Amino acid sequence: MLIAEDGKQMGVVGIEQALRSAREAGLDLVEVSPNSSPPVCRIMDYSRYRYEREKRQKDARKHQRAGQLKEIRLRPKIGIHDFDVKLRKIEEFLKEGYKVKISVFFRGREKMYPDFGMRLFERVEESLGEGAVIERKPFKEGNHLSMLLVPKR
């Protein structure tokens, strides 16, 4: 079964006739479906087809964001304005479809008061409202507390 370059079916043709048609058009004879009966071949520019396929795959990879993660770092004694700026950035990342990891770092005597970090997480949760879902509750990792947010679908 032979398919011409413009998509028209030329019917069942012998292999020599198909190769001759491809040479006359200056194109390649590509076997599309070898397992069917009769096998299906197409006359096409194979190098151009490969180039376009790779370009489509590259564009598809470029637009994938599902697994990407952004991190926002906070301090336990953060100012009101600084908190608002970080919150806007979190909202922006969530709107773009990123997962956001929020970390509160403790130094020195701050390590004795992890409840400051928990209060910060509660403020973030209240401020975001329905815009985000907590994927991972706050957890302690060494000198910092972390929480993972995902955008609401």
Structure tokens at 41: 């071949």
Biggest CA–CA distance in the chain, Å, is: 85
Tally of domains within the chain: 2
Same domain, 108 and 123: yes
Structure tokens at 130: 């329905």
Same domain, 119 and 141: yes
Q: pLDDT tens digit string along 7-34?
A: 888 889 888 999 999 999 899 999 988 8
Q: pLDDT tens digit string along 60-95?
A: 887 776 668 899 999 988 899 999 999 999 999 888
Global model pTM greater than 0.75: no
117: helix, strand or coil? helix
What is the span of the domain harbouring residue 92? 69-151
Nearest alpha-carbon partner for 11 in 19, 2, 23: 2
Distance CA 84, CA 150 (A): 19
Beta strands 28-33 and 99-105, pairing class: unpaired
